[in-house]
Amino acid sequence: MTAYPERVLQQAYAWMRGHPRAADGMLGLLLFAAGVGQLPTPEPLSTARGVAVNLLLAATVTVRRQIPVAAFCGAAIVVSFQLAFGLGSGSVPGMAPGVTDFAIVILLYTLAAYRARRTSVAGLVVCLLGAVVAIARYAPLHGPNAGVILLLSIAAVGVTLLAAWVLGDSAAYRKTYYVSLEQRLAAAERTSDLEAKRARAVDESAARLRRIERDLHDGAQVRLAALAMALGEIKENLAQADTDPDTLKLLGGAHQNAKDTLTELRDLARGIHPPVLDRGLGEALAMLAETSAIPVALTVDIAERPSPAIEAIAYFCTAELLANAAKHSGARNIQVSVQDSGSAPLALAVTDDGAGGARVAPRGGLAGLLERVQTVDGQLTVDSPPGGPTTITIELPRHA
Amino acid sequence: MRIVIAEDAAIMRDGLTQTLTRRGHDVVAAVGDAEALRKAIAEHQPDVAIVDVRMPPSHTDEGLRAAKAIHQDFPKVGVLVFSQYIEAHAASELFASAPTGVGYLLKDRVADVSEFIDALTRVAQGGTVLDPEVVRQLLGAGRRRDTLAALTPREKEVLSLIAQGRSNVAIAAALFISPKVVEKHVANIFDKLGLAPSDTDNRRVIAAIKYLES
């Protein structure tokens, strides 16, 4: 719990932040009261003038945050009139500068805090010039201590004006800094939100592909196999009976069609999601190595299974790289290694002792792999000098 | 034959049961998962079991594991594993653990009913049956080149047919050559693979396994 007075202060600040116009109005009122209280003459006309000057200055303070430049200019004009007519011999009663002129300091601060630096520096220059004029007209140029008084006046006014500008300027700087900080924070939140959504999408699509393969396996493939079996049996039965050869031929065609469709369906399903992946990346890669046209030495070191989507990407990349090597490299041996310590990204390396010169060309096989790897922020590097050997390294996060 | 079928898809299970029954075989049990299969085998001790690879609960390789278990507990029961997909290493694993009375076929093969039943009969009688697709995959694979490099193309063809469990007569018919020529090829294969002349059937199986595992 914060202490009592501190809490009251905090609440007061909070109220002021929530009601800027009312706060400025009160500040104006305060200045006005002080200024009017300071008015020396009881004479009605000069009192009226004094009240009008004070009212104008208080008004500029009240609207300082809505129209900083106009308020500053208004106050500067009023103060100029005061300097011109309210000082020295033959001065107009009620026009003398007073405590309300502190308004110009507040407005300089406001200018520095809410407007561009160019504008506020111009305001500062105007103020300093005004101050020089005021001191020149007000301070005693002769007599004892005249020099000291002059110096002190210059120092006091100059330092006050400079301090107001510096405070305002630093407030403006802090404000832009906080705004950019908030924007960066929002951008970072958005990025991590997008990453989470993408990971979900990647996982969902991997799960959906697996489901499609299973549905095919349990549904269409089984029905088609049963159909082919029935057609086969009918064909054999009819062949034994004395059947019209055209009918037999027709049936034979249907039977063959069913068998061909089964083969196509199997290849399709395997392309969607190889069932061997369900038993882990190691087994799936072992199968790829087993059926590769070029002998493959496989090293698998996986501490903990990565997510299914990552396993699928690693599998399809390896399949593509093995096929590429068989097609283009003329290699005699291939090494495939997968390492996944569980903490670092999964590292897949495929090395062949072929001709080398592989590169990521637009619309080439490697470009397709790169795209696939990049969907999960993975990396693909190609090291393939002319004459070989070629090493292609793929790094994948353990989860999408 | 007395047959147990383990297949989780009802339409395939029923279709197989009806077809085999119509061909005069006795389907003593048709079940949908590995646990029920174990019980059915223990209860009926059939000549042969047809086992789907993917079955509940995990739908991965229940059938393969069940096949190995059956071979351990009931060596006389032949097991025909059949699958929607062919995986060469699954085949070599299966054949290494049980070199006799075992088969591995694509599900599609049921379409040719008589051939399928022939294969089933071979497995029931202690023979081996290997899907031609496995052979095709392995022949395309590079690492066999070194081990089987000594064989001529014709000998490789013969070996792949041996691996499919064909007899010499069947191989001769398939390749349109005389059984005598087949015998010569087989002798050459055994010789090149370093298999000492002993029981011929056993050598055939070993050659088939070498072929799978090489």
User: Helices B153-163 and B168-175 meet at what angle, rounded to 10?
Assistant: 130
pLDDT bracket for residue B210 (50, 70, 90): low
Query: Which residue would you say has higher pLDDT here, B143 or B68?
Result: B68
Residue numbers in B near A271 (CB within 8 A)? none
pLDDT at residue A335 is higher than 90: yes
pLDDT bracket for residue B163 (50, 70, 90): confident
Contact criterion met (CB < 8 Å) for A231 and B87: no
Between the two ends of chain B, the Cα-to-Cα distance in Å is 34
Average pLDDT of the segment spanning B52-57: 87
Among the ranges given (A21-25, A43-47, A129-133), the one the predictor scored with the smallest mean pLDDT: A43-47
Range(s) of chain B covered by CATH 3.40.50.2300: 2-131
Query: Which residue would you say has higher pLDDT here, A2 or A70?
Result: A70
Query: Which residues 126-165 of chain B have a CB within 8 Å of chain A?
Result: 137-138, 140-143, 145-146
pLDDT of residue B12: 93
Rounded Cα–Cα distance for residues A159 and B31 (Å): 98
Q: Are A332 and B182 in contact (CB under 8 A)?
A: no
Select the residue of A233, A258, A266 nearest B19 (Cβ to Cβ).
A233
Average pLDDT of the segment spanning B184-197: 75
Q: Could you give phi then psi for residue B96, rounded to 5 degrees?
A: -70, -35
Measured in angstroms, the CA of A237 and the nearest CA of chain B are apart by 10
pLDDT of residue B7: 94
* Closest alpha carbon within chain B to A268: B85
Q: What is the interface size between A and B, counted as CB pairs within 8 Å?
A: 92
Q: Are B86 and B106 in contact (CB under 8 A)?
A: yes
pLDDT of residue B140: 59
Rounded Cα–Cα distance for residues A60 and A55 (Å): 9
What is the average pLDDT score of chain A?
Answer: 88
Average pLDDT of the segment spanning B171-189: 86
Average pLDDT of the segment spanning A38-62: 84
The residues pairing with A383 across neighbouring beta strands, listed in sequence order, are A391
Name the CATH topology of B142-213: Arc Repressor Mutant, subunit A (1.10.10)
Select the residue of B16, B87, B143 nearest A276 (Cβ to Cβ).
B87
pLDDT of residue B139: 60
Residue numbers in B near A225 (CB within 8 A)? 12, 107-108, 110-111
pLDDT bracket for residue B96 (50, 70, 90): confident
- Least Cα distance to A340 among A303, A299, A395 occurs for A303
pTM of the model: 0.66
Which CATH architecture is the domain B2-131 placed in? 3-Layer(aba) Sandwich (3.40)
Q: Are B77 and B48 in contact (CB under 8 A)?
A: yes
pLDDT bracket for residue A88 (50, 70, 90): low
Average pLDDT of the segment spanning A77-93: 80
Select the residue of B11, B89, B143 nearest A222 (Cβ to Cβ).
B11
pLDDT digits (tens, 9 = 90+) for A286-333: 888 877 878 889 999 988 889 999 999 999 999 999 988 888 888 889
Rounded Cα–Cα distance for residues A164 and A158 (Å): 10
pLDDT bracket for residue B143 (50, 70, 90): very low
> DSSP assignment, residue A329?
I
* Closest alpha carbon within chain B to A227: B111
pLDDT at residue B145 is higher than 70: no
pLDDT of residue A105: 92
- Most confident residue range from A87-96, A268-277, A319-328, B6-15: B6-15
Range(s) of chain B covered by CATH 1.10.10.10: 142-213
Select the residue of B15, B112, B142 nearest A226 (Cβ to Cβ).
B15
Q: Which two tokens stand for residue A147?
A: 């020099």
Beta strands in A179-308 (DSSP E): 296-302
Query: Which residue would you say has higher pLDDT here, A218 or B46?
Result: B46
Name the percent of chain B in helix, strand, coil, to the closest 5: 60, 15, 30
CA distances from A213 to A206, A221, A280, B213 (A): 11, 10, 16, 29
C-alpha atoms less than 13 angstroms from C-alpha of B118 in its C-beta half-sphere: 12
pLDDT at residue B99 is higher than 80: no
Q: Are B141 and B86 in contact (CB under 8 A)?
A: no
* Closest alpha carbon within chain A to B143: A295
Contacts of A159 (CB under 8 A, 6+ apart): none
Q: Could you give phi then psi for residue B28, rounded to 5 degrees?
A: -80, -25
Average pLDDT of the segment spanning B172-201: 77
What is the average pLDDT score of chain B?
Answer: 83
pLDDT at residue B15 is higher than 70: yes
Contact criterion met (CB < 8 Å) for A262 and B138: no
Using an 8 Å CB-CB cutoff, list residues of chain A that contact chain B.
214, 217-218, 221-223, 225-226, 228-233, 236, 255, 258-259, 262-263, 266, 269-270, 275-276, 278-279, 283, 286-287, 290-296
Average pLDDT of the segment spanning A112-137: 90
Query: Which residue would you say has higher pLDDT here, B59 or A216?
Result: A216
Residue B19, burial from CB neighbour count under 10 angstroms (0-12, 13-18, 19+): buried
Contact criterion met (CB < 8 Å) for A229 and B110: yes
B8-11 long-range contacts (CB < 8 A, ≥24 apart) are B8/A218, B8/B32, B8/B33, B8/B52, B8/B54, B8/B55, B8/B56, B9/A218, B9/A222, B9/B52, B11/A222, B11/A223, B11/A226
pLDDT at residue B165 is higher than 80: no
Among the ranges given (A67-76, A221-230, B104-113, B149-158), the one the predictor scored with the smallest mean pLDDT: B149-158
Residue A289, burial from CB neighbour count under 10 angstroms (0-12, 13-18, 19+): buried
User: Which residue matches tokens 């190609």?
Assistant: A382
Query: Which residue would you say has higher pLDDT here, A239 or B90?
Result: A239
pLDDT of residue A214: 87
Contacts of B177 (CB under 8 A, 6+ apart): none
B/e letters for A314-338, b = 16+ CB within 10 Å, e = fewer, are bbbbbbbbbebbbeebebebbbbbb
pLDDT of residue B30: 96
